[in-house]
Each structure stands twice: as C-alpha cells, then as structure tokens.
C-alpha cells in the first residue's frame, strides 16, 4: 500500500492533521489486568497506537548465568507485531527493536526495588499491535502500569511522552506522519517523585532554546500521562470493590 504524500502537516490556524492543537496529547486510555496468564498486564491505546504489556516475576532466573547476585535482573522485550504497520514487518527482532528494548529497560529499572529480590528475574514483554509513532513512549508508559499490576514494589510509576518540531512549530506527542515528516522528535521518560528523567533521545535538529522548550512540553505531557496511569490502576480497584459491595448487600438482604 503506497502512502499518500501529505502536503502540509500543520495548517495556518496551527491545527494538525488529526485535528489537534500544537500542545494536545492524543486521546489515551489504559486498561489494567487484561491478561490472565501474566503476573501483571496492561493495555494502552494512544491515538492509533495499540500496545500490550505483560510482566512475569520476580521468579527464578532461567538461564542461571543471567542472575545478578544482589538484585533482580530486569529483562525487557519490545516487539512489533508483523501486522502493526502498513507494510508487513518481519517478526525477527530488528536493530531498532533491540535498541528500544534496551532503552526501555534502562528507563524502568530505577523505579523498581530490584535489590529486594536478588538472583531472580523480572521478565517484561511489550507487544505493539498497531503502531502510529511514539510507540516507545506508549510502551514504556503501559509497561510501568503492568509492573505495578504485578505487585512488584516500585519507587514510582514512569511516564513517557514525546515532543518535537514539525514544520517550524514545537508540538507535543507526534504521530507517525509528524515523526517521519517533521524536523525533530524527542521521546522523554520521567519519574515524578524523583523529578528525574530516565529516558531522553532525539532524532532531528533543534537549537538550544528550542530544545529547552521541547523538554518542558514533554514533561508537561508526561505529567498528564501519569494521571491517566494512576486512574487506570484505581479503576481496577473500583470494579473489585463494586463486586464486593454487591456481595455484602446480598448478604445483608438474606
């Protein structure tokens, strides 16, 4: 399928091709505990991105030589399904997927109390079912929620968001067209309590001033994403509580 050539990504009124303003996040929703077999799981839809995360562990490390003596070893696999993009993507791990697996692991590790479980491993799987730009950020976001769902003790949730420059405008949360046709894309991951950045990459050209502004925009985006993460985790409890209260009411009526 040939891609249509887009004439302009941002029009005179500063509206983007999907109708968003420069500073708008794509509509995002997260669901917790979607997989029955994993210890923890979560699913995110951000614009057209659809990404699933699953966590297993902490459990005995197999193979043993990968075990660390003083903490849990976090293993992360970021993978794009063959049907996640326009042209079928080969299922074999590409260099990009290997890189993203590494940076995502390094972004999440500081948030987990790995020192509580020496010689174990925590396995994390991020599967992109549909991709539309910014999948490493959405994948990071949903992976952090899956880790919390697994009951693994964490310092904080990690939230991630990309910002960049498209046709001279500084924008938040680039989609695939904007990423490919824009001037710069900068994914950023953030740990709110420590006020620390755990992932920062850039693809493109930005001046020093532009960079500082884009970082600020991405941080604002991250804070919004963090709220969505917390709401998703709470929502799961509310459902559990409703089932409980129904049972108590039934018991009371008897």
Partner 1 sequence: MPVFYERKQLVTPGDLLAENDYFAGENTHKENGKIYATRVGLVNYEEKRVYVVALKSFYVPMVGDTVIGKVEEVTLGGWIIDIKAPHLAMLRASDALERPFKPQKDDLPSLFDVGDMIIAKIVAYDRTRDPLLTVLERGLGKITRGQIIEIMPTKIPRVIGKQGSMISMLKQETGCQIAIGQNGRILINGKTPDDERLAVMAIRKIEQEAHTTGLTDRVTEMLREEKGEKEVVKSEAKENRKTD
Binding residues (CB under 8 A) for partner 1: these are: 39-40, 57-60, 69-70, 72, 111, 113, 117-120, 148-151, 153-157, 191-193, 229-230, 233-234, 236-237, 240, 244, 247-248, 251
Work out how close the CB of 156 gets to partner 1 at its nearest, in angstroms, rounded to a whole number.
3
> 209: Cβ–Cβ under 8 A, 6 or more apart, which residues?
none
> 5: Cβ–Cβ under 8 A, 6 or more apart, which residues?
none
Identify the burial level of 64 via C-beta atoms within 10 angstroms of its C-beta, where 0-12 means exposed, 13-18 middle and 19 or more buried.
Answer: exposed
| Residue among 184 and 199 whose Cβ is closer to partner 1 | 199
Work out how close the CB of 93 gets to partner 1 at its nearest, in angstroms, rounded to a whole number.
27
3-class DSSP assignment, residue 136: helix
| Residue among 8 and 247 whose Cβ is closer to partner 1 | 247
Query: What's the start-to-end Cα distance of the chain, in Å?
Result: 63
Work out how close the CB of 110 gets to partner 1 at its nearest, in angstroms, rounded to a whole number.
12
Work out how close the CB of 117 gets to partner 1 at its nearest, in angstroms, rounded to a whole number.
5
* Distance between CA atoms of residues 225 and 66, nearest Å: 33
| Residue among 115 and 203 whose Cβ is closer to partner 1 | 115
* Distance between CA atoms of residues 132 and 127, nearest Å: 14
| Residue among 119 and 169 whose Cβ is closer to partner 1 | 119
């Amino acid at each position: 399928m040939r891609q249509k050539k887009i004439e302009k990504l941002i029009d005179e009124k500063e509206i983007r091709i999907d109708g968003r303003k420069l500073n708008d996040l794509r509509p995002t929703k997260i669901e917790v505990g979607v997989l029955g077999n994993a210890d923890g799981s979560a699913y995110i839809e951000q614009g057209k991105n659809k990404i699933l995360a699953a966590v297993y562990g902490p459990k005995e490390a197999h193979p043993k030589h990968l075990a660390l003596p003083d903490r849990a070893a976090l293993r992360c696999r970021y993978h794009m399904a063959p049907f996640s993009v326009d042209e079928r993507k080969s299922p074999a791990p590409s260099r990009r997927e290997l890189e993203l697996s590494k940076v995502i692991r390094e972004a999440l590790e500081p948030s987990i109390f790995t020192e509580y479980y020496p010689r174990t491993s925590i396995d994390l799987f991020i599967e992109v079912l549909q991709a539309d730009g910014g999948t490493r950020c959405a994948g990071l976001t949903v992976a952090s929620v899956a880790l919390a769902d697994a009951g693994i003790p964490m310092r904080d949730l990690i939230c991630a968001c990309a910002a960049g420059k498209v046709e001279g405008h500084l924008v938040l949360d680039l989609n695939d067209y904007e990423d490919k046709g824009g001037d710069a894309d900068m994914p950023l991951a953030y740990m709110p309590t420590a006020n620390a950045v755990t992932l920062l990459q850039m693809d493109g050209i930005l001046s020093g001033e532009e960079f500082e502004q884009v970082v600020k925009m991405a941080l604002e985006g991250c804070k919004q994403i963090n709220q969505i993460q917390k709401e998703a985790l709470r929502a799961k409890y509310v459902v559990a509580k409703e089932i409980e209260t129904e049972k108590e009411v039934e018991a009371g009526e008897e």
